[in-house]
Structure formats: structure tokens, C-alpha cells
């Protein structure tokens, strides 16, 4: 069952190890750096901003989901006995929740498509400026990759939530013990939604972002991914303005 697999995958996640601070030198004007800024950083930065608007919309949808399921949480033995064993949990699978989850899935899927376009820009950048040919371009490209990795990780967590919700709809009536299945699904979904909602993304600007966000993106929980994403965005927002001034943009 997908819900079981995802519950196992989301539990016991190891804390990613910190890596050294990434230093992007943006006050040295060079043809390679300024060309990379225009061809790579600017378009990826624009799409990254668009993706952030998508995440804001998903947060709004998640809030609606939580509002629609107020009072739905870990189920007591009494609740277990009272659940209708012939149909899905009506509190969880409502028409409103169906629409909300579909909206979340659509937005998360669109973000992953945007990231595919960004991957193409990065691939071209590697061809134009091979690793080691320009330390400044390498550092700027790593910042872009950090943003992309973290956004992809967060989008995948929303997709996982929507897929667990969708894939288990209707399964209760097919189960030999439907009430137990519905209780497990209810707790899994509410745990995942609470994790997504509890990550407000507020970070201390004095904390330095990691040089490489790969481990956080791959192994971090929702809170860790969101925190690192905000740190990388703060660093990039400063760097892109300085680089733009340096390159006369």
C-alpha cells in the first residue's frame, strides 16, 4: 500500500549533515560570469520566483484541507468502532477535500515541470562553462542548483501527500478490516499535512546557508527543507543584486 510505504519513508529520516558555507564572489566583473548571470541565473531566478508563488498557493490549499478536517486526528478505540466500515471516512474524503487536494497536485506538478525547464538551462550552462573553467560561475551555478534541489524536494512532498490521499480513496470498502485501514490513512494524512503546515519558513538571516543543499533536499524532513530553502533564497537575493550591479544589468 502506498500509504504504508510513504509512512515508512517519512519516519526516522536522518538529519542531514551540515556542509561549509558557499562563497559566491559577485563583485568581480568577467565576461564568463556576466554571460552566465544573464543566460543561467536570471531565467532560473525568475522561474524560482514563480515556483514560490506556487508554494504559497499550495499552502493556502493545505490550510483549506486542515479547516475541512477540523477535529480529525488520531482515532480512539470508540472512534474505531463507530466508523462506517462500508465506505471511506466521510470526514476525510469530502467533495471539498477532493477539490483541494486536486489543486495541490496540479500546482506541485506544474512546479516539477518548471524545474525540468530549469534543468535544461543548467545543462546548457555546463556545456558553455565546464566545471573549473570559472570559479565564480561554478559558485553561482551551485547556488542555483541548491534552490532547484530544495524546491524539487518540497514539491515532491506535496505530491506524496496528494498521491496518498488519491491512491487510497475507495480502498476501505475493499479491505477485510476497513476501519483499521481508515484509521491508519487518517493518521498518515493528518501527520503529513501537519508537517507541511507547521513549516512557516521563518529563518534567522544570521544563519549561513549550506554550500551544497543536496543532502538536505534528499534526506531532510519538511521543516529542514523549508528552512534551508529560505536561507538559500536570502543568499541568492543579495548575490543577484550585487552581480547585476557589477555586470551593469
Give the model confidence (pLDDT) of 30-83 as tens digits: 688 899 999 999 999 999 999 999 999 998 899 888 888 876 665 555 565 566
* Lowest mean pLDDT segment, chosen from 30-44, 121-135, 181-195, 233-247: 181-195
- Whether 102 shows a pLDDT value over 60: the answer reads yes
The mean pLDDT of 136-156, rounded to a whole number, is 95
pTM of this prediction? 0.81
pLDDT at 189 over 90: no
In tens, the pLDDT along 106-129 reads 999 999 999 999 999 999 999 999
CA distance 142 to 211: 8
Rounded average pLDDT over 150-160: 95
pLDDT at 14: 47
Distances (CA, A) of 171 to 6, 142, 168: 16, 44, 5
Mean pLDDT for the chain overall: 82
- The yes-or-no verdict on residue 161 having pLDDT over 90 is yes
| Range among 89-93, 164-168, 213-217 rated most confident | 213-217
User: pLDDT class for 13, splitting at 50, 70, 90?
Assistant: very low
Q: What percent of the chain has pLDDT over 70?
A: 79
* pLDDT, position 184: 78
86: pLDDT confidence band, cut at 50, 70 and 90?
A: low
Amino acid at each position: 500500500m502506498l500509504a504504508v510505504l510513504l509512512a515508512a519513508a517519512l519516519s526516522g529520516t536522518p538529519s542531514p549533515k551540515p556542509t561549509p558555507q558557499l562563497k559566491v564572489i559577485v563583485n568581480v566583473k568577467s565576461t564568463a560570469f556576466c554571460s552566465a548571470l544573464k543566460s543561467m541565473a536570471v531565467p532560473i531566478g525568475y522561474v524560482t520566483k514563480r515556483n514560490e508563488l506556487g508554494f504559497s498557493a499550495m499552502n493556502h490549499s493545505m490550510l483549506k484541507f486542515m479547516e475541512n478536517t477540523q477535529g480529525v486526528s488520531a482515532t480512539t478505540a470508540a472512534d474505531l468502532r463507530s466508523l462506517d466500515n462500508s465506505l471511506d471516512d466521510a470526514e476525510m474524503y469530502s467533495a471539498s477535500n477532493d477539490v483541494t487536494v486536486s489543486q495541490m497536485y496540479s500546482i506541485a506538478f506544474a512546479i516539477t515541470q518548471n524545474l525540468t525547464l530549469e534543468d535544461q538551462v543548467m545543462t546548457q550552462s555546463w556545456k558553455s562553462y565546464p566545471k573549473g573553467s570559472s570559479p565564480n560561475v561554478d559558485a553561482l551555478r551551485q547556488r542555483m542548483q541548491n534552490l532547484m534541489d530544495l524546491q524539487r524536494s518540497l514539491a515532491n512532498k506535496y505530491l506524496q501527500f496528494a498521491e496518498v490521499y488519491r491512491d487510497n480513496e475507495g480502498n476501505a470498502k475493499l479491505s477485510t478490516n476497513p476501519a483499521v485501514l481508515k484509521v491508519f490513512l487518517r493518521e498518515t494524512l493528518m501527520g503529513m499535512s501537519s508537517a507541511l503546515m507547521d513549516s512557516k519558513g521563518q529563518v534567522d538571516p544570521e544563519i549561513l546557508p549550506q554550500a551544497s543543499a543536496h543532502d538536505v533536499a534528499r534526506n531532510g524532513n519538511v521543516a529542514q527543507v523549508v528552512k534551508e530553502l529560505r536561507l538559500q533564497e536570502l543568499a541568492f537575493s543579495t548575490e543577484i543584486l550585487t552581480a547585476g550591479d557589477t555586470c551593469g544589468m
